[in-house]
Structure 1
Amino acid sequence: MNLAEFSIRILAAGVMTLIAGGTSWTQPAAGPPAVGIVEAIKRPITESSEFLGRIEAVNRVNVVARVTAFLEERLFVDGAELTKGAPLYRLERGPFEADLASKRAQVAQLQATLENAKLTAERARTLLGGPAGQQSTYDAAIANQRSLEAQVQAAQAQVEASQINLDYTMISAPIDGKIGRTAVTEGNVVGPGSGVLTTIVSQDPMYVTFPVPLRQALELRERYGPQGGLEAVVIRLRLPNGRMYGKSGKLNFVDNTIAQNTDTITVRGEIANPILRAPSTAGVTVHELTDGEFVTVVLEGIQPIEVLAIPRSAVLSDQQGDYVLTVGADDKAEQRRIQLGQSKPTIASVISGLAAGDKVIVEGLQRVRPGQSVSPGPASALILSSMKAGASDAPSQPDHSGTTDTRLEDKRP
């Protein structure tokens, strides 16, 4: 036997030995994967719904001229906040003053003629007792007197009309509010046909109007109707820059007609709009809400409700819907199909599929399959703190299709 044959036999014997004792190369079986769990518990939360809306002034007035005259002076600063009765424009007064004086002179002339007619009627009445008196003469005198009395009344009405026209030469603010820019300047002829001179809109409070899809309006009515209807909700606003407005408001109107082209109903609320900064020397003020501004309306229930809540990170989804993995009594993972209610980034409310006290896997989900044994333990402090701080999470962004978006607010201390 040469050296090569001897080496081959030695190698073959080693392979047979390894095959016979192969169990010594098998790695030890791993234990069940460790997972973090939380218990599904009842939490008091505030239900809310979001809609797209616009700010509207409670009062809005288009200022127009009531008489035709030259505009002599503008008496306000564009953008200033005014009180009711503040002077806005002064028109040329001369022609109207002359017309008023003429009408007053006509009244004086007719009154003098009336006094003479009264004396004539009195003499005719006295003569009726003598041979020279005639009934027809007396009747004619009385008729002339009454005719003159009517003419005096008509002339006095003309005086009042002239006085009204003269007063119209001073245009004043009809409401409290913020005035816009002027459409005309001094020296122009203005009149009823000149259009709008300027616009005044009230500032505090403001309306916010928003369309609600009919289906969701029915859901809101069923949800809040037994709790007081419009009084059961408050309004909060998210401004265009994403910041929440500091004041809350109340609903005060629901339209009586459904918009056929959108199948929505218009809802309106009222909210305070105080001055942000003191007025400048020119009287210009700044309010946070502006007429026509686009905002997101958040409807929140006044009374919190109890819902079953779990961390949002525990919810998984597939083609059949949402589900979670729970730990059973034998420490095996179980798949539970659930139906979610309103949710926010850290908390999900469960309508069905779970019961209070169920142990939901929230950490280690990628290592677990349904039916697999697990080693459960408490979830990390980060998960638990996010559950407690759910109320401080920012609401989800609105659906700009013009319908709704929802969120929860954890009210538990």
Structure 2
Amino acid sequence: MRMILVVLMVFGATLAARAQSTPPTDAIPVGTVRAEQKPISQNVEFVGRVEAPERVEVRARVKGYLEEVLFKEGDMIKAGAPLYRIESDTFEADVKQAEGALQRSKAGYDLAVIQLQRAEDLLAKAAGTVVARDQARALADQSKGAVTSDEANLSNAKINLGYTVISAPITGRIGRTNVTIGNVVGPDSGVLTTIVSQDPMYVTFPVSQRELMKHTSSENVTDPRELTVRIRFSDGTTYDQVGRINFVDVSVERTTDTVTVRAVIPNPKGQLTDGQLVRVLIGTDKPETKIVIPQASLIADQSGVYVFIVEEGKAVMRRVKIGGESGTGAIVDEGLSGGEQVIVEGLQSVRPGAQVRATPVPSTLSGT
């Protein structure tokens, strides 16, 4: 009898152990993903606009008929490349006239110098007068002044002749021409065309005082120039170049309490266009280790955000504090320590304390 009781006790213990190790048949099937600890460079997003560091409005500096347009609209232009040619005959004639006037004044000056020397020699021999010497000296000085004036007139004539060829002052992409061959152009003609530099480019964007202080007062960043700048286009794609902040305005916009920030970013392929509206992503080079879970696991109610995790075959609710996004994942600042099995599938049937049958599913977490 005692042997039978022992056998029954052992058999009962075995059944109880099997019952504990095997989920009940009414357990809810769920899919889970492990809460991962990942190095995260958190980004803050702003609206910005691309600006060319150099932008030049090309104008005519002398008046004349336009003979040639020497560029193709929209092309890349190098500094010094000729853009327009103005009829130069009149300006060439002005140069020759100035050269002739200079020759005459130089000849007059040479004669005045000789006469001054003669007057001084006669005065030294007591054969001349002081008045004659002074008159000769004054004439020499006048002649020298005439030479200086004519030299300046010749230089000015040559400068004006040089202005008949309008060249690119900077390297960049040139816009459309506002004048065509045969028109009279001059200083009053307005802008002939515009050139904007291409590489690198600026991106300017307003940042609130709170956001600026939040990022520059952290233990990882002490200078805004240490922050990385990325660009996201209107179609959702991210630009493949990384920029750096190079200027923070010295005053705050009173109406919006924002500071204008400017970043410089490479543009080797010309993908960025002056005036283009973009999304600006600000981050750091020093990623922090954060817990990341799929956004599909998040549930919100009036008290905040929570997730379900699996503990000992049961669904357990955990309140979490979300600190942002990382691609398809959510960054958890509080509530999880990493390694928990977070339920991502079958949530519609899960209740706190419910028995669940967990099946790991492939993680789809991706970074930005």
Indicate the TM-score class for this superposition, using the shorter chain for normalisation: 0.7 to 0.9
1:189–1:131 CA distance, 2 compared to 1 (3 A): same
Aligned 8 A contact 1:65 1:191 in 2: yes
Q: Shift in Å at residue 164 of structure 1?
A: 0.5
Q: Shift in Å at residue 328 of structure 1?
A: 5.3
Specify the SS of the correspondent of 1:121: helix
Q: Kindly indicate whether residue 101 of structure 2 is the aligned counterpart of residue 91 of structure 1.
A: no
Q: Give the corresponding residue for 2:302.
A: 319
Match of 2:331 among 337, 346, 349: 349
1:178–1:37 CA distance, 2 compared to 1 (3 A): closer
Q: Shift in Å at residue 344 of structure 1?
A: 4.2
State how far apart, in whole Å, the 2-side matches of 1:118 and 1:152 are.
13
Match of 1:335 among 317, 329, 334: 317
Counterpart amino acid of residue 254 in structure 1: V
Q: Shift in Å at residue 228 of structure 1?
A: 5.6
Q: Deviations over 1:371-401 (max 9, x none)?
A: x253463x4323xx214xx22xxxxxxxxxx
Aligned 8 A contact 2:308 2:343 in 1: yes
Specify the SS of the correspondent of 1:103: helix
Aligned 8 A contact 1:57 1:291 in 2: yes
Match of 1:258 among 245, 252, 256: 252
Aligned 8 A contact 2:221 2:227 in 1: no
Q: Give the corresponding residue for 1:136.
A: 131
Q: Deviations over 1:150-189 (max 9, x none)?
A: 2211111111011101110111111111111110111111
For structure 1, list consecutive stretches of 5 or more residues without a partner in the other structure.
1-28, 276-286, 392-408
Aligned pairs for 1:24-35 within 5 A: 33-35=28-30
1:361–1:151 CA distance, 2 compared to 1 (3 A): same
Counterpart amino acid of residue 301 in structure 1: T
Aligned pairs for 1:274-285 within 5 A: 274-275=268-269
Q: Shift in Å at residue 45 of structure 1?
A: 1.5
Q: Give the corresponding residue for 1:381.
A: 361
Aligned pairs for 1:206-285 within 5 A: 206-223=201-218, 226-227=220-221, 229-275=223-269
Q: Give the corresponding residue for 1:174.
A: 169
Q: Give the corresponding residue for 1:295.
A: 278
For structure 2, list consecutive stretches of 5 or more residues without a partner in the other structure.
1-23
Counterpart amino acid of residue 347 in structure 1: G
Q: Give the corresponding residue for 2:19.
A: none
Counterpart amino acid of residue 129 in structure 1: A
Identity %, equivalent residues? 42
Aligned 8 A contact 2:32 2:343 in 1: yes
Counterpart amino acid of residue 273 in structure 1: N
Aligned 8 A contact 2:33 2:360 in 1: no
Tell me the C-alpha RMSD between the 2 structures: 2.4
State how far apart, in whole Å, the 1-side matches of 2:174 and 2:32 are.
61
Deviates more, 1:349-358 or 1:59-68: 349-358
Q: Give the corresponding residue for 1:151.
A: 146
State how far apart, in whole Å, the 2-side matches of 1:129 and 1:34 are.
127
Deviates more, 1:332-341 or 1:355-364: 355-364
State how far apart, in whole Å, the 2-side matches of 1:271 and 1:344 are.
23
With the length of structure 2 as denominator, give the TM-score of the two structures.
0.85
State how far apart, in whole Å, the 2-side matches of 1:259 and 1:213 are.
9
Counterpart amino acid of residue 192 in structure 2: L
Aligned pairs for 1:35-74 within 5 A: 35-74=30-69
1:344–1:357 CA distance, 2 compared to 1 (3 A): closer
Counterpart amino acid of residue 349 in structure 2: R
Aligned 8 A contact 2:308 2:342 in 1: yes
Aligned 8 A contact 1:47 1:342 in 2: yes
With the length of structure 1 as denominator, give the TM-score of the two structures.
0.76
Counterpart amino acid of residue 364 in structure 2: S
1:141–1:366 CA distance, 2 compared to 1 (3 A): same
Specify the SS of the correspondent of 1:156: helix
